Chains A and B, each alone.
Chain A
C-alpha cells in the first residue's frame, strides 16, 4: 500500500553495512572512499550516496 516513489520517502536509502534505512542527510561512520564511489558522488556527506557508500565500506 505504499510506493517507493512517494514524496514521504524523500531520498532514503539502505545502508548495506549496518542493514539500516538511512535518510539522505546521513553519514556512515565506517565510510571509506573508493575510486568507484568517489566517481559516483562528489559531496562528502550528501547522501544520495550514503547508502551506496555504506554498503561498499
Chain B
C-alpha cells in the first residue's frame, strides 16, 4: 500500500517491450515460479517420484508435544523449503530491484511466523476458537503494524500481491481446465452484472455528491473490478490526481479488511455451502488477497463446523473463478473505455492520453495465464487416469504437494496484508468519497448475495460437490 507513489514512475529508458516486462513485472515472476514448480512436480510424477518431500505441511495435532515431534522429525524438510522459497523469491526480488539482503531477512521471519500459523490452523480445536490461519495472520499483522510498528527494512519481504499471484498460479493445478471452461462463463456473467451495477452506483453517487469525475471513476473501479490495482490502473488511464488514488486505496483496503471478517461470518450464520459462499466472496470482496483470506477461512469450516456443506477447495475455487476470471481480467477493457470517455467528454487536465486497444493487453493481469497453463498441464497429466486412480495416485503424488505450496504462498500474503496496513491512513479520505464508496459496497454485497444464493445457487452448490 505504501509503495504506490514510491515506485510508480517508469524507467526513463523508454517504453516497455514484452521482454522487459518479462523481467520487471511481478506477474511474470509469479508465472515463472508457480509454473516452474508445477513443471518440476509433473516431471517428477511422470518418473514415479514426487515433490512432496520438500512441499512439507504440518499435520493435525491435539497436544503441543505433537508439534514438537513433527518439527523434530521434519526439520530438514522445513529448512529446505525455506531455502527453496528464498531462492525463488530472492531471484525475483533481485530482478524487480528490491534489495535482496533485506528481502531475505524479512522473508525468513515471515516464513517462521507462517509456519506457526500453519500449525495453529491444524490444531484440532482451532475452529472451535475461530483460529483460522488467514484471520489470525491478518489480526496478528494488523496488531503489530499498528502498535509496535514494522521496521522499514522489513517492508522488502511484505509482498502481498506477489505471494498471492504465485499462489493463484499454483491454484490452477486444483482446477481442471474443463471446470474452468464450464464455470468461467457463469462467473463472467455474474461478475459483469455486479461490476456494472457497483461501478454505476459509486460513480453516480460520487458525481451527485459533487466529486471530480476522475475520482468517481477511480473509486468505482476500485469497488467494482479489482480493488487497489483497478483504481491505480484507471487513475493512469483517465489522468486522475495523486490524491484521488490515495483516497481510493484507503477505502478499498478498509472495506476489504472489514469483508475478510464479515463475509465468512455472515455466510456461516446463514449456513451457505462452500461453493456458494466462495462465489459471494468473489463478487463482494475488493482485493484478491483479502478475498482469498475470506474464502480459505470459509473453506476451513467444511467438515469442522456443523451445517456447512461442500469441500474446502470449493470456496477457494468459486472465489477464484469469480474474482480472477469474472472481474480481474477485464481491467484493461475498463481502463480503455474510461480513458476514451475521459478524453472525449471530461475537462482537459493538461495531459493528453493516447490510449488504444493495445491497452487491454498492456494492463492484462498476466499471472492469469500462469493459472490457466497450470490448470491445462495438470489436466493433461491426469487425462490417462481413471477417477479412482486420479484420487489414489495423481492427487497425493502431484496435486497435494502443489496445494501445500499454494497454502504456504497464501499464508505469506495474509500475514503481509496486516503488516502493511496502517489504520491511520483510513482517516483522511473525507466524508463524500466514503459515502459514495460505501453506497457501492452496500449494493454490491446485497446483489452478490442474491445472485450467488438464488440466481446461480444450483451452479455454485454443484461446484462444491
Contacts and interface: CB of A to CB of B under 8 A. Distances in A.
B239 interface: yes
Interface centre among A2, A12, A15 (most CB of B within 10 A): A2
A49 to B, nearest CB: 6
Interface residues of A, number: 42
- Top 7 nearest A-B pairs by Cβ distance? A12-B236, A4-B7, A2-B228, A3-B161, A5-B26, A21-B235, A7-B27
Interface string B229-253: 1101101110111110100010011
Given A1-B228, A1-B417, A29-B351, A10 B11 contact: no
6 contacts: A2-B287, A8-B230, A9-B229, A11-B16, A12-B233, A30-B350
A50 B160 CA distance: 29
Interface string A1-38: 11111111111111101111111111111100000000
A52 B9 contact: yes
Nearest to B256: A1
A54 B367 CA distance: 32
Contact of B354 (A3, A15, A43, A45): A45
B33 to A, nearest CB: 14
Contact of A23 (B252, B348, B353): B353
Interface string B1-16: 1011111111111111
B24 A5 contact: yes
Given A1-B1, A27-B352, A7 B25 contact: yes
Contacts of A51: 9-10
A47 B242 CA distance: 18
Nearest to B339: A23
A22 B359 CA distance: 13
A43 B10 CA distance: 15
Interface of A: 1-15, 17-30, 40-43, 45-52, 54
Interface string B246-276: 0001001100100000000000000000000
B21 A7 contact: yes
A22 B365 contact: no
B290 interface: yes
B159 interface: yes
Interface in B363-409: 363-367
Interface in B113-162: 159-162
A5 B353 contact: no
Contacts of B339: 23
Nearest to B362: A10
Nearest to A48: B10
Contact of A47 (B15, B161, B256): B15
Interface in B291-348: 331-332, 339, 348
B13 A48 contact: yes
A45 B26 CA distance: 26
A43 B324 CA distance: 35
A14 B6 CA distance: 10
Contacts of B364: 7-8
Contact of A18 (B226, B256, B350): B350
B101 interface: no
A22 B236 contact: yes
Contact of B15 (A6, A9, A17, A48): A48
Given A21-B8, A27-B352, A48-B11, A6 B25 contact: yes
A39 B249 CA distance: 35
Most chain B beta carbons < 10 A, residue from A11, A13, A15? A11
A20 B240 contact: yes
B447 to A, nearest CB: 23
Contacts of A17: 350
Contact of A26 (B8, B331, B354): B354
B350 A28 contact: yes
B77 interface: no
A48 B7 CA distance: 13
A21 B353 CA distance: 11
Contacts of A54: 351
A23 B355 contact: yes
B150 to A, nearest CB: 15
Given A1-B160, A18-B349, A25-B356, A8 B8 contact: no
B289 interface: yes
Nearest to A2: B228
Contacts of A45: 354
Given A3-B159, A4-B4, A7-B365, A13 B253 contact: no
B16 A2 contact: no
Contacts of A22: 236, 239, 351, 353
Nearest to B356: A25
Contacts of B331: 8
A5 to B, nearest CB: 4
